[in-house]
Amino acid sequence: MSDRLWWKHGVVYQIYPRSFMDGNGDGVGDLAGIRARLDHLAWLGVDAIWLSPIFPSPMADFGYDVSDYCDVDPVFGDLTEFDALLADAHARGIRVMLDWVPNHTSDQHPWFRESRASRTNPRRDWYVWRDPNPGGAPPNNWVAMFGGPAWQPDPATGQLYLRSFLKEQPDLNWRNPEVERAMHGVLRFWLERGVDGFRIDVIHRIAKDPAMRDNPPSERPGPGWGGQLHVHDENHADIHGFLRRIRALLDGYDERAAVGEIGLAPEQVATYLGRGDELHLAFNFAFLRQRWDAEAFGRELALFDAAVPAEGWPDLVFSNHDIPRHATRWDHPQLGEARARAAAVVLLAARGTPFLYFGEELGMRNGEVPPERRRDPLAWTLHPNASRDGERTPMHWSAAPGAGFTTGEPWLPLAADWRTRNVEAQRADRGSLLWLYRDLLALRRRTPALERGVFRPLPAPAGVLAWERRHGGSRALVAVNFADDERKPGFAAAAVRDGVWTRAGASLPGDAGQLALGPCEAAVLAVDG
């Protein structure tokens, strides 16, 4: 179909580069490794990959602290290797998105080194500097998401700089037009190289209240992030103007797209799509907080579907590098595997662009990372349990030593089940979760209702979530049984032409009305009418 847009009708796969595939045996994943595994992604059938940051970085926050936006960190490779990866991906019909971090740089970025050199440095105003209040207190009560006050004292010049995350991540001052110009230059640099788009880090924080007013207390007042209502330190209305200019820049190229990370309620997230003149997509993170519950899932699907403007498009995210993997969150002693299979149906058959996190196609759980091997700084700036290492343990490719991920010592330990839960084993098993993902991706691609159709919730018995998708003459019925016993979705009679059932090896019923789902089973049926 000529009007098929990769970011809208396709499926995006997130790669955490340190953990996907190590090409040089140093225990850390890299671009050569990703290149060597593109055939897995082509076989799976994804349309695009998003690489978490690959730019030079001191790695205080593993790449979300960028010290040069226009190069590749040596741990991952170099620009030549990147160009080769891009060419190889494109040759397989796979688009490549990079992770752009506009809110903050590394404190080692030359811009910040200059900025902090003196109060009169021409780059001083590229970041947000303020005098302390009388008595040395910070200028206001804002706190950093990663612990401590958002204001970092800088003894050399006697002022404090704003940092929304780690002290190694100073916030840029987007209100300075030179910063906006420089950052547009970064986007152009990669677009000219052929990159297809960007995932944009915490875009809702690039503009704050210019008067820097204190945040009011939340209903649970306290010193940490949750103790305040974040009304002045994020989500400022001026961000929409910045986004419209970013969109205009992207629109100057062919079919490029941006997806934004916005840590706000779904209704607010949807406003970042503008009237089709801001972001192409804005992550729907609602499911990251949801328990395994038909009603809760149904509510979130309907809410975001309705919130997204007519010119926009929804999306779904179940897992990423910041939150325990969904197979862990929704695990169950007997039904964990069935739930992971049913979750795949929700992700791939609802309306919106699905974002997959590497390894979820295997049902990877969070790895156990003992305290002495923890690497994520949140383990010490916030709380040992805040570490995100568990969801970043390396990909399981095979039962070979190092899980086929590395010939060296992996930078984080492998999850316990790597010898049995890996790509090689699941490719050899037609009933595996990996094959289910592949089948669902293929079904989406050949079923216009699934790629493009409207979403209409259908009445269903308690514990079952059911909906219809329809586009022109194409129609699909979807049912997910969240319960731990058999349930009948109760679809009206309709001849089944095609579909996928999470029950391995089962043939589809001839009539949708006959469908009965076992515990935590799900089915997508392409039907007549």
Residues known to be catalytic = 201, 261
451 is a contact residue toward ligand NOJ (CB under 6 A): no
Cβ within 8 Å of residue 72, ≥6 positions away: 31, 54, 55, 56, 78, 79, 81, 82
| H helix intervals, 213-279 | 239-251, 266-271
Q: Which is nearer to ligand NOJ, 142 or 297 (CB)?
A: 142
Q: How far is the CB of 145 from ligand NOJ (least distance, A)?
A: 8
66 is a contact residue toward ligand NOJ (CB under 6 A): no
Q: How far is the CB of 423 from ligand NOJ (least distance, A)?
A: 25
Listed residue (321, 437, 340) closest to 40, CA to CA = 437
Give yes or no for a contact between 358 and 21, defined as CB atoms under 8 angstroms apart: no
Residue corresponding to tokens 């706190």: 143
112 is a contact residue toward ligand NOJ (CB under 6 A): no
Tell me which of 69, 111, 161, 165 binds ligand NOJ, using CB under 6 A. 165
Strand extents, DSSP E, 250-359: 257-260, 281-282, 315-317, 353-357
405 is a contact residue toward ligand NOJ (CB under 6 A): no
61 is a contact residue toward ligand NOJ (CB under 6 A): yes
Residue with smallest beta-carbon separation from ligand NOJ: 64
**Integer CA distances (angstroms), 109 to 52, 56, 123, 505, in order:** 18, 9, 12, 54
148 is a contact residue toward ligand NOJ (CB under 6 A): no
283 is a contact residue toward ligand NOJ (CB under 6 A): no
Give the phi and the psi of residue 395 in degrees, each rounded to 5: -65, 145
Q: Which is nearer to ligand NOJ, 383 or 430 (CB)?
A: 383
Q: How many CB atoms lie within 10 A of CB 516?
A: 14
50 is a contact residue toward ligand NOJ (CB under 6 A): no
Q: How far is the CB of 51 from ligand NOJ (least distance, A)?
A: 13
Q: How far is the CB of 219 from ligand NOJ (least distance, A)?
A: 25
- As a whole number of angstroms, the distance between CA 249 and CA 245 comes to 6
195 is a contact residue toward ligand NOJ (CB under 6 A): no
Q: How far is the CB of 378 from ligand NOJ (least distance, A)?
A: 8
* Amino acid at position 221, single letter: P
171 is a contact residue toward ligand NOJ (CB under 6 A): no
Cβ within 8 Å of residue 376, ≥6 positions away: 62, 386, 387, 388, 389, 392
Strand order in 496-501's β-sheet?
Answer: 454-458, 464-471, 474-481, 522-527, 496-501
Structure tokens at 149: 């006050």
1-30 residues in contact with ligand NOJ (CB under 6 A) are none
Listed residue (82, 104, 57, 69) closest to 189, CA to CA = 69
Q: How far is the CB of 149 from ligand NOJ (least distance, A)?
A: 17
278 is a contact residue toward ligand NOJ (CB under 6 A): no
Number of chain positions touching ligand NOJ (CB under 6 A): 9
Tell me which of 64, 69, 405, 418 binds ligand NOJ, using CB under 6 A. 64
Q: How far is the CB of 104 from ligand NOJ (least distance, A)?
A: 7
198-237 residues in contact with ligand NOJ (CB under 6 A) are 201-202
Listed residue (4, 78, 46, 117) closest to 434, CA to CA = 46
Q: Which is nearer to ligand NOJ, 104 or 469 (CB)?
A: 104
Local structure of residue 488 (DSSP, 8 states): -
101 is a contact residue toward ligand NOJ (CB under 6 A): yes
Q: Which is nearer to ligand NOJ, 125 or 322 (CB)?
A: 322
247-266 residues in contact with ligand NOJ (CB under 6 A) are 261
Q: Which is nearer to ligand NOJ, 266 or 404 (CB)?
A: 266
Q: How far is the CB of 61 from ligand NOJ (least distance, A)?
A: 5
- As a whole number of angstroms, the distance between CA 61 and CA 167 comes to 11
335-374 residues in contact with ligand NOJ (CB under 6 A) are none
Q: Which residues bind ligand NOJ (CB under 6 A)?
A: 61, 64, 101, 165, 201-202, 261, 321-322
